[in-house]
């Protein structure tokens, strides 16, 4: 494409504005709700006429603080741990799939595909029953383990696709040049593999962070309840209070990290998502 | 990307495997085994447990009455209109969302594909926001916008016939499904459009060029050159989205909790097992849901010839 004509420039401006509106309007909408005072909630207008931080106070330092902050802690901890476990296991598996020739390679990839389309609710009932028997109900491990069913398959696919593109000959080349096997691996391969591993971790974290079904089915108190489930069960400070403002404020807070990560790593996320799905 | 041709050579290898091949296989399974075992442990084991549980009449509120009833639970579920209605609602949501998303996703993919480098980053960032947002948050955003007390949609669109200050969107099936589908489409179209974008990148540019030189209209180029060349990518995107939409749960739970004829299959299973502690019936619905997913896969692969392996760079 060369220089745009005036008409094309107008077109592109219009299209860009439309896409931005599509993508960001609902986010703006809930952000607007989060700044409304309880008196203004039913004004029938999108924007608050006198924005207030009362809702944020309520969930961060006020009456709902304990509820929200413990959910935040649970969400961050559980999502991070299950992401790390999934990425470590997937790195080993993807390395084997990309570099070695062994019977059962296809079986592992097919299994990962099968697990990723699994209806989550189908395994919630048996887990609910089992967890209550063995005491994992409403605990961190009780969520970390089922989260692996969400994070592991996609990690295996994405990493296998990334690792297939690494020129593994570099390792031999480095050894020919006199590096020890460990040095060769660390200096030639790790820098090439690291971005793929990081991107995979990011996508896996998004998926774990997003979970709702396991979160509401396998927890009952703030001991392990993650943010999405806590939001669903959140009621106002008193029964006369509409919780919409507080829920919106909490929603905005948990959306901020997502938006920041997307801003920083949009290129990697896009390549990671499309890598695992289609020949990149 | 180069596909792995090594599996081909593996098949040609003499049956007597060398010591080196044996070592390689052992190392391969040593590395990939843990991941494989974990995947089976967190899915295959529970689903088998669900199949077993579905053969018992088991209610946790009356644990002593647990008894083997064979396929009776299946009879109960399959003759219940509630089950069929939720199956129908789920299928309806799936078909409508996938259709809308395919069109919208294609439009977004083409925009990103054609955009200048300057704009591309901005567009991609914007598109990824809905992808990254928690589904529950997106459900609340849509719910509060449409809700009769806290919403503003009724005020904004009161010029549309039928919309007014006393329209309660979540009080009837049609309007509830409209908002549910809208939120689902908003949240998941980015995923489909990114898959389609990757497919677009695979269409040879000189083919498009040649078609244009031969005097094809933009529509003809799209329908005769672009689409046929990315059939695999389209099919994979559609299948994945369809299966994902079939599992819909989060936004229905938040917006209507299944009221007014919006109950979907996942919600029905959840309600039986977790709320009513009818483990037997809940497991039965879980197993039926699982069978539906397998059926959709089977139909897609047979009927539309979705070749997952080739589209995913496997040979």
Would you place residue A147 in the very low, low, confident or very high pLDDT band (cuts 50, 70, 90)?
Answer: very high
Q: What angle do CA A66, A71, A76 make, to 5 degrees?
A: 130
Structural domain span for residue A248: 62-276
The mean pLDDT of chain A is: 87
**Residue in B32, B151, B289 closest to A119 by CB:** B289
Is A166 in CB contact (< 8 Å) with chain B? no
Asked if B264 and B251 count as a contact pair (C-beta separation under 8 A), the reply is no
A35 in any annotated domain: no
Backbone angles phi, psi at B56, to 5 degrees: -115, 150
Is A183 in CB contact (< 8 Å) with chain B? no
Say yes or no to pLDDT of A76 above 80: yes
Question: What proportion of chain A, given as a percentage, has pLDDT over 90?
Answer: 44
Asked if A155 and A200 count as a contact pair (C-beta separation under 8 A), the reply is yes
- Residue A277's pLDDT is 57
CA nearest neighbour of B286 among B73, B86, B49, B50: B50
- Residue A280's pLDDT is 32
Q: How many contacts (CB atoms, under 8 Å) link A and B? A: 329
Would you place residue A164 in the very low, low, confident or very high pLDDT band (cuts 50, 70, 90)?
Answer: confident
A95 in any annotated domain: yes
| Alpha-carbon gap: B266 to the closest alpha carbon of chain A (Å) | 6
Q: Do B35 and A89 touch (CB under 8 A)?
A: yes
3-state secondary structure of B203: coil
Asked if A272 and A87 count as a contact pair (C-beta separation under 8 A), the reply is no
The stretch A184-207 carries a mean pLDDT of 90
A56 in any annotated domain: no
Asked if B134 and A209 count as a contact pair (C-beta separation under 8 A), the reply is yes
Going along chain B from its start, the domains and CATH numbers come out as: 84-264+296-311 (1.10.3720.10)
Nearest residue of B to residue A106, measured between CA atoms = B314
Asked if A188 and B28 count as a contact pair (C-beta separation under 8 A), the reply is no
Tokens of B213: 């030189």
Would you place residue A100 in the very low, low, confident or very high pLDDT band (cuts 50, 70, 90)?
Answer: confident
A22 in any annotated domain: no
Say yes or no to pLDDT of A27 above 50: yes
Reported for A260-265, long-range contacts at CB under 8 A and 24+ positions apart, including other chains, are A261/A202, A261/A206, A261/B132, A262/B125, A262/B128, A262/B129, A262/B131, A262/B132, A263/B125, A265/A199, A265/A202
Q: Do A266 and B124 touch (CB under 8 A)?
A: yes
- Residue B138's pLDDT is 95
A149 in any annotated domain: yes
Is A168 in CB contact (< 8 Å) with chain B? no
CATH code for the domain of A192: 1.10.3720.10
Would you place residue A239 in the very low, low, confident or very high pLDDT band (cuts 50, 70, 90)?
Answer: low
Residue owning tokens 């919309």: B163
Asked if A271 and A195 count as a contact pair (C-beta separation under 8 A), the reply is no
CA nearest neighbour of A119 among B87, B57, B309, B310: B87
Say yes or no to pLDDT of A240 above 70: no
Is A112 in CB contact (< 8 Å) with chain B? yes
- Residue B7's pLDDT is 45
Q: pLDDT tens, B18-38?
A: 888 888 888 889 999 999 999
Q: pLDDT tens, B282-306?
A: 999 999 999 999 998 888 888 776 6
Q: pLDDT tens, A256-272?
A: 988 999 999 988 888 88
Say yes or no to pLDDT of A173 above 80: yes
A4 in any annotated domain: no
A71 in any annotated domain: yes
Tokens of B314: 């496997």
A155 in any annotated domain: yes
From first to last of its 315 residues, chain B has per-residue pLDDT tens of 444 444 444 445 445 568 888 888 888 899 999 999 999 999 888 999 999 989 988 888 887 778 888 888 999 999 999 999 999 999 999 999 999 999 999 999 999 988 888 888 899 999 999 999 999 999 999 999 998 888 888 888 888 887 888 888 898 999 999 999 999 999 999 999 998 998 888 888 888 889 989 988 888 888 888 888 888 888 888 888 999 999 999 999 999 988 888 999 999 999 998 888 888 999 999 999 999 999 988 888 887 766 655 544 443
């Amino acid at each position: 494409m060369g220089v745009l004509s005036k008409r094309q420039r107008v077109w592109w401006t219009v299209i860009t504005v439309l896409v931005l509106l599509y993508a960001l309007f609902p986010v703006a909408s809930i952000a607007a709700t989060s700044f409304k005072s309880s008196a203004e909630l039913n004004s029938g207008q999108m924007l608050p006429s006198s924005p207030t931080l009362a809702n944020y106070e309520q969930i961060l330092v006020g009456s709902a603080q304990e509820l929200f902050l413990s959910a935040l802690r649970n969400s961050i901890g559980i999502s991070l741990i299950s992401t790390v476990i999934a990425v470590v296991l997937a790195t080993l598996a993807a390395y084997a799939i990309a570099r070695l020739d062994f019977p059962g390679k296809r079986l592992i990839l097919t299994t990962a595909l099968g697990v990723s389309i699994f209806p989550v609710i189908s395994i919630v009932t048996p887990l609910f029953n089992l967890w209550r028997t063995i005491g994992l109900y409403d605990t961190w491990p009780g969520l970390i383990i089922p989260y692996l069913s969400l994070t592991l398959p996609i990690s295996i696919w994405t990493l296998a696709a990334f690792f297939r593109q690494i020129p593994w000959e570099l390792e031999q080349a480095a050894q020919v040049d006199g590096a020890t096997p460990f040095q060769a691996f660390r200096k030639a391969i790790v820098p090439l593999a690291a971005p793929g591993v990081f991107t995979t971790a990011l996508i896996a974290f998004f998926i774990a962070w997003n979970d709702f079904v396991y979160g509401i089915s396998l927890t009952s108190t703030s001991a392990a309840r993650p943010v999405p489930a806590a939001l669903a069960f959140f009621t106002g400070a008193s029964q006369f209070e509409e919780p919409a403002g507080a829920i919106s404020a909490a929603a905005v807070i948990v959306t901020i990290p997502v938006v920041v990560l997307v801003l920083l790593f949009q290129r990697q996320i896009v390549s990671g998502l499309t890598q695992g799905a289609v020949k990149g | 990307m180069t596909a792995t041709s090594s599996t081909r050579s593996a098949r040609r290898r003499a049956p007597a495997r060398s010591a080196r091949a044996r070592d390689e296989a052992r190392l391969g399974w040593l590395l990939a085994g843990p991941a494989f075992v974990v995947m089976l442990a967190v899915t295959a084991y529970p689903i088998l447990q669900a199949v077993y549980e579905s053969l018992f009449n088991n209610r946790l509120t009356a644990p002593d009455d647990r008894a083997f009833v064979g396929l009776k639970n299946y009879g109960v579920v399959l003759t219940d209109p509630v089950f069929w209605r939720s199956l129908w609602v789920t299928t309806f949501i799936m078909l409508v969302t996938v259709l809308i998303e395919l069109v919208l996703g294609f439009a977004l993919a083409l925009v990103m594909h054609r955009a200048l480098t300057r704009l591309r980053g901005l567009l991609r960032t914007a598109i990824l926001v809905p992808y990254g947002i928690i589904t529950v948050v997106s459900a609340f955003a849509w719910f509060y916008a449409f809700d009769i007390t806290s919403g503003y949609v009724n005020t904004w669109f009161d010029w549309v016939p039928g919309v007014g200050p006393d329209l309660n969107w979540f009080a009837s099936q049609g309007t509830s499904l409209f908002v549910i589908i809208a939120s689902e489409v908003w949240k998941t179209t980015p995923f489909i459009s990114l898959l389609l974008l990757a497919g677009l990148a695979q269409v040879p540019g000189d083919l498009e060029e040649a078609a244009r030189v031969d005097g094809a209209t933009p529509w003809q180029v799209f329908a005769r050159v672009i689409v046929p060349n990315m059939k695999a990518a389209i099919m994979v995107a559609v299948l994945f989205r369809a299966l994902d939409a079939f599992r819909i749960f989060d936004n229905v739970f938040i917006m209507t909790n299944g009221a007014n004829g919006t109950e979907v299959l996942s919600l029905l299973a959840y309600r039986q097992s977790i709320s009513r502690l009818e483990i037997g019936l809940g497991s039965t619905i879980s197993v039926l849901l699982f069978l539906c997913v397998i059926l959709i896969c089977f139909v897609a692969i047979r009927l539309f010839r979705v070749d997952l392996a080739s589209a995913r760079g496997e040979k």
